[in-house]
Structure 1
Amino acid sequence: MSKIHQPMIGYAQALQCLLAQVRSLPGEHCALVEAPGRVLAADIRSPIALPSFDHAAMDGYALCAREPLAAGSEHVVHGSQAAGEPRKADAISACEIMTGACLPDGFDAVVAIERTELLDTHPDGSPARIRLLDPLVAGYNVRHTGADAAQGSTVLTAGTRIEAAHIMLLAALGVAQVEVVRRARIAVVCTGMELQADPSQPLADGHIYNSNGPYLVAALTTAGAQVLSCETVDDTASTFAAALQRAVSAGVDLVISTGAVSMGRYDFVPDTLHRFNAQLLFHKVAIRPGKPLLCARLAEGPLILALPGTPMAVAVGFRFFVVPALRAMMGQGAEAPLRAVLDTPQQPKAGMRHFLRATLHQGAEGQLHASVSSQQQPFRMRPFAGADSWVVLTEDAGDCAAGKRVEIVSLEPCAALGIRPSP
């Protein structure tokens, strides 16, 4: 890694540079019950038709209506077909049928029981003759074979994050295991002699509890990654280098560090990476917060994202650099852009992309509105905990008056936007 001064670059250029270095992760097989939250590595084709047989959509009577049946027509009822029973042979005129039951051979329509008049019963009390109250045509109240999914059709595509709804579909198709993308392996290294990693102990004088490490572990896990280690080291290059070597030896795909990445006397990360012969991709991005962010790649090794240590710089680095990299590793495209009406005017600095914590609500007119917190200082964590989204103001946004439509991003990946009631 060259020690030559690197010029500050824009967010779009930095992200493009990062994603160009991302390597796709391999696939592995996973039991369906363990699949929620995983990402499909390959398309899934339906192994069967769904439904796999023609069946009744409701309780009633199965009839043959190839020729439409008139209201008032009378029909003799023979036998019944319950859900789960083998398909019955042809009946003579009509057959009592239950919801979900196979349509008996020779029948093509079902009349709901409440749309018939019972005229006679068998000695055991079962219906013997009915009269139709409405006309009946073929296909009525019948769920046809393959109507939901044809056999061999693609039902889910590679890159899909598996949710509960997908589990319902795959279980109905008899899919017992799926091919998913291996989880990204991540190492987190937090630097700073002031950091106290053990929250169960009283704070030493001049120390603070490490919040960046627990945040990144939680955020990465929610995003579907596997955190192999989370270390807290002091402000010396040797302890950072040792932690970095352990991460490399563990075979991680990405190392995320916090702190020691700016220009101060204790900001040793760039020089340490130089000694590791890392390729510097960029150092300093025109963003707020998080400008000193650094990205590098070790030869034959993992990507490295070195984030400033301020809490909101870490949050921005995770959401707007780490998350896109993870999505690329898992074969997912970029997140779809969303927009909202800005309720709080902003005067962003020209040439910088601003990431602002905000809350959302739906206005009386039905549009989504974003209210930016007045406390945007990067050390403040409480407004972050109370927010539900990021407002993104581009480098050329200019003065943003209330009413302007702006880009918004969910606070965390894989999370729905939290929309509050209209105030």
Structure 2
Amino acid sequence: MMLSYSAALELLLAEVDQLPLSIETVPLLEAGDRILARDIAAPCDLPHWDNSAMDGFALRSQDVVAASPDRPVRLPIVGRVMAGEQPPLLTSTAGVACAVMTGAPIPAGFDAIVKVEDVVQQENAIAVSTPIPAGQFIRVRGEDLHQGSPLLAKGQHLTPMALMLAAAVGLSELPVWSKLPVGLISTGTEVVPWSQPTLALGQIRNSSQPFLIQQLQRLGCEIRAIAHVPDDPEQFAAIAQQFWSQGVRLLLTTGAVSMGVADFVPAALERLGCQAIFHKVAIRPGKPLLFAIAPEQQGLVLACPGNPVSTTVTAEFFLKPLLMQRRGESRSPLWLPLAESVHKPEGLQCFWRSRLTPDGKVWVDPQQSSAALKSLVESSHWAILPADTGFIAAGTPVEVQSLT
């Protein structure tokens, strides 16, 4: 009996300690797309001081409580503050206004900003014709972050927005997880480089390799070695040994892992001293997946099926959880109702391409061939369909996972 997805994933994640893990500190501009290795608290308040959210005039709200279109309040202008300038030190702020530009600090004694377009300027004074509430258009010191409050969380993906936040509080470097050294071997005599302009009868381009390269980079890996081998177990073994000698700790292979006469990878790995943890999982696509330990190399092997969609599924639902577990990351499940009823193979957990409808339901694409690529681009989510049934009625909530 084949393992269920959850049982196979549990066995996979139990071996995560086989992968090396360390923390390195890198400059801010080199931290993009890396994974933060420690919680970071804000080293200062943000904003650093009270400042204006508008071009306008600072005033005391109590001075314009009675302002109206019929009886505007006239306030003399006693100064101007540009962004980056020090505000003037005024002996009194009663009954006066100070011009301030967006981002400029608020002079002491004022508690509100009125926009330029909301006043009438009269030589060196403004006329205010409506009451201004205290705090209007003032960004208060620390309203975004207080010193010592959580800034960035361990396990967080360092997006450009996260780097912008770190820069705003003066962090010039960040602690991130080291990159896992990975080797990638694709197999198949029929497989040719993706850049090959023409194909002979029976040949296919290596479409999985650029996908995996990009995915591994996005997942914080260092792709230390890449190769393609024909259906030749000896050549495969030699390249695997070479990769391990280069420090590869996770070996990822595609193809030659099923039950055909050319599916040599399981036997080749066994001869190399690898110990298979599981081979075949009750899923579709991706059923022939093999996971093994390479004890002598202190590493792991994930041998994926060769069909491109099977590769994407095994990368998303085995490789990604493995790497996330290694770094202490987690993701929250999302459940949405099916837009239409779905028939599926009973006994197999299916990861099927789908899109979200405008009313927030999941539409499952009828094209689910493991070799069909166009629907991958047209889909937005994986619909995760349970193994214990062959029919799921419209409206039934199912778990979904983004394709991106």
Normalising by structure 2, report the TM-score.
0.88
1:107 matched to 2:104 = no
Deviates more, 1:81-90 or 1:30-39: 30-39
Alignment partner, residue 303 of structure 1:
300
Secondary structure of 1:37's aligned partner: coil
1:63 matched to 2:63 = no
Counterpart selection for 1:259 from 255, 258, 265: 255
Secondary structure of 1:186's aligned partner: strand
Relative distance call for 1:106 and 1:201 in structure 2 (3 A) is closer
- After superposition, residues 17-416 of structure 1 pair within 5 angstroms as 17-23=11-17, 25-64=21-60, 69-71=65-67, 72-93=72-93, 94=96, 95-119=98-122, 121=123, 127=124, 129-136=125-132, 138-197=134-193, 199-200=195-196, 202-204=198-200, 206-299=202-295, 300-333=297-330, 335-362=331-358, 366-373=359-366, 375-411=367-403, 415=404
Deviates more, 1:302-311 or 1:66-75: 66-75
Counterpart selection for 1:8 from 2, 9, 31: 2
Corresponding pairs, count: 394
In 2, Cα distance between the equivalents of 1:399 and 1:221? Answer: 38
Secondary structure of 2:171's aligned partner: coil
Alignment partner, residue 4 of structure 1:
none
Secondary structure of 1:52's aligned partner: coil
In 2, Cα distance between the equivalents of 1:318 and 1:281? Answer: 17
RMSD: 2.5
Amino acid at match of 1:409: Q
Deviates more, 1:37-46 or 1:56-65: 56-65
1:410 Cα offset (Å): 1.8
Deviates more, 1:12-21 or 1:313-322: 313-322
Deviates more, 1:304-313 or 1:8-17: 304-313
Amino acid at match of 1:18: L
In 1, Cα distance between the equivalents of 2:394 and 2:55? Answer: 57
Normalising by structure 1, report the TM-score.
0.84
Relative distance call for 1:111 and 1:205 in structure 2 (3 A) is closer
Relative distance call for 1:134 and 1:91 in structure 2 (3 A) is farther
Question: Which runs of 5 or more structure 1 residues have no equivalent in the other structure?
Answer: 1-6, 122-126, 416-423
Secondary structure of 2:342's aligned partner: coil
Deviates more, 1:337-346 or 1:152-161: 337-346
Alignment partner, residue 418 of structure 1:
none
In 2, Cα distance between the equivalents of 1:379 and 1:104? Answer: 66
1:111 Cα offset (Å): 3.1
Q: Is the 8 A contact 2:229 2:236 kept in 1?
A: yes
> What percent identity do the matched residue pairs reach?
37
Alignment partner, residue 124 of structure 1:
none
Relative distance call for 1:85 and 1:396 in structure 2 (3 A) is same
Q: Is the 8 A contact 1:70 1:132 kept in 2?
A: no
Deviates more, 1:154-163 or 1:381-390: 381-390
Relative distance call for 1:107 and 1:154 in structure 2 (3 A) is same
Post-superposition Cα deviations, 1:320-342, rounded to whole Å, max 9, x if no partner, equal 11111122233311x32223333
Q: Is the 8 A contact 2:194 2:207 kept in 1?
A: no
1:61 Cα offset (Å): 2.6
In 2, Cα distance between the equivalents of 1:76 and 1:329? Answer: 64
1:307 Cα offset (Å): 1.3
Relative distance call for 1:254 and 1:66 in structure 2 (3 A) is farther
1:201 Cα offset (Å): 6.1
1:269 Cα offset (Å): 2.1
Relative distance call for 1:8 and 1:371 in structure 2 (3 A) is closer
In 1, Cα distance between the equivalents of 2:107 and 2:181? Answer: 54
1:68 Cα offset (Å): 7.9
1:117 Cα offset (Å): 4.5
1:285 Cα offset (Å): 0.7
1:108 Cα offset (Å): 2.9
Amino acid at match of 1:90: L
Deviates more, 1:32-41 or 1:153-162: 32-41
